[in-house]
């Protein structure tokens, strides 16, 4: 059995496997490259994995993060997440990585021990997402910043109506509006998003939200929510730049939180991270708390380092 086949089997049985590590999710998002995985076994059982997205840039092969895959990194079965048991497994996984020019991954929340990577010359940067434990909706409302609870949400609710549905074209058009106005390329193509959306919709693991003007019907804001058994993730959101002041984006986030609690009955809502200061502030206003994760990197090629500086 190949490592990819073993990984696919692991995905079917591993408890608590994050959405972004599932084989079908990797199939959908690993464009312009290919994914593979290191696997480690105890007897016949796979107990740990390290999926990676392998890309080619000119002469260099490197591991990168696929678009819209928020976290990867090693994932071990819960009973192996102690230093005595996990360090040998992590060393084994690292040994299986191919020869590379560079490596960069954002680790999933369960990967809290990066020491074996440190010992091999990797470096780590702590990054943060914001996660909201989903208690009763009344309690969630109480935890909102007063300005959101008493001003921004009521104001937006008087101006727009919130919808859910399958209009991916509408979502893509509004989401990319701010990029078009700045003359920038969209982060992903529509064909890419269609492929991911089909994979998620087939598994009933996504919902599309939008807010339309009660008077004109113009769409102010859009949001794309995905989930696994542990959490909902606010994967993408966007506003019409001309209508951003309406507060519709804040209302959509609140409705996505309510949906995650009342419809999906999930224990957590993950804003899927941002280290950008204005965005981070918005996350805090919802009462969400910081959740750290690791960005782990290494470069082996001096030419790659120079090239990366020139590409930016």
251 and 156 fall within a common domain: yes
pLDDT of amino acid 312: 58
Residue 160 in tokens: 């727009």
Residue 250 in tokens: 């804040």
Q: How many CB atoms are closer than 10 A to CB 113?
A: 18
249 and 175 fall within a common domain: yes
Distance, CA of 100 to CA of 122 (rounded, Å): 13
Q: Where are the extended beta strands (E) located within the chain? A: 34-42, 45-57, 60-64, 75-76, 102-106, 123-133, 160-165, 206-213, 219-227, 232-239, 268-270, 289-299
Q: How many domains does the chain have?
A: 2
Task: Report the predicted TM-score, pTM, of the whole model to 2 decimal places.
Answer: 0.94
pLDDT of amino acid 309: 66
Express each pLDDT in 153-175 by its tens digit.
999 999 999 999 999 999 999 99
Q: What radius of gyration do the chain's Cα atoms show?
A: 21
92 and 157 fall within a common domain: no
190 and 306 fall within a common domain: no
Express each pLDDT in 108-137 by its tens digit.
999 999 999 999 999 999 999 999 999 999
pLDDT of amino acid 305: 76
The answer to whether residue 281 sits within a structural domain is no
What is the pLDDT of the chain when averaged over all its residues? Answer: 93
Per-residue pLDDT of the chain (312 residues), as tens digits, is: 799 999 999 999 999 999 999 999 999 999 888 999 999 999 999 999 999 999 998 888 999 999 999 999 999 999 999 999 999 999 999 999 999 999 999 999 999 999 999 999 999 999 999 999 999 999 999 999 999 999 999 999 999 999 999 999 999 999 998 777 777 788 899 999 999 999 999 999 999 999 999 999 999 999 999 999 999 999 999 999 889 889 999 999 999 999 999 999 999 999 987 777 777 787 888 999 999 999 999 998 887 777 776 665
The answer to whether residue 139 sits within a structural domain is yes
The answer to whether residue 12 sits within a structural domain is yes
Q: Which domain holds residue 260?
A: 135-266
161 and 235 fall within a common domain: yes
The residue from 248, 266, 284 where one domain ends is: 266
Residue 240 in tokens: 């019409």
């Amino acid at each position: 059995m190949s490592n990819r086949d073993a990984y696919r089997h692991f995905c079917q049985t591993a408890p608590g496997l994050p959405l972004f590590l599932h084989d079908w999710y990797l199939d959908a998002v690993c464009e312009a490259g290919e994914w593979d995985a290191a696997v480690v076994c105890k007897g016949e059982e796979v107990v740990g994995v390290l999926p990676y997205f392998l890309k080619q840039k000119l002469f260099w092969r490197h591991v990168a993060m696929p678009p819209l895959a928020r976290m990867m990194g090693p994932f071990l079965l819960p009973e192996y997440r102690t230093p005595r048991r996990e360090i040998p497994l992590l060393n084994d996984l690292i040994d299986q990585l191919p020869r590379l020019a560079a490596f960069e991954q954002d680790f999933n929340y369960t990967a809290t021990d990066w020491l074996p990577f440190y010992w091999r010359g990797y470096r780590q940067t702590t990054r943060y997402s914001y996660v909201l434990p989903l208690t009763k909706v009344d309690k969630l409302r109480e935890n909102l910043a007063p300005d959101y609870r008493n001003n921004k949400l009521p104001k937006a609710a008087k101006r727009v109506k919130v919808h859910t549905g399958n209009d991916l074209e509408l979502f893509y058009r509004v989401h990319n509006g701010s990029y078009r106005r700045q003359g920038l390329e969209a982060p992903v193509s529509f064909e890419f998003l269609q492929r991911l959306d089909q994979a998620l919709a087939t598994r009933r693991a996504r919902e599309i939200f939008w807010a339309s003007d009660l008077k004109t019907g113009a769409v102010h804001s859009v949001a794309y929510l995905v989930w696994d058994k542990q959490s909902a993730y606010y994967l993408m959101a966007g506003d019409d730049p001309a209508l951003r002041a309406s507060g519709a984006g804040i209302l959509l986030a609140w409705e996505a939180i309510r949906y995650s609690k009342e419809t999906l009955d999930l224990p957590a809502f993950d804003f899927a991270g941002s280290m950008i200061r204005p965005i981070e502030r918005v996350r805090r206003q919802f009462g969400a708390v910081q959740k750290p994760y690791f960005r782990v990197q290494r470069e082996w090629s001096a030419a790659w380092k120079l090239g990366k500086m020139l590409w930016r």
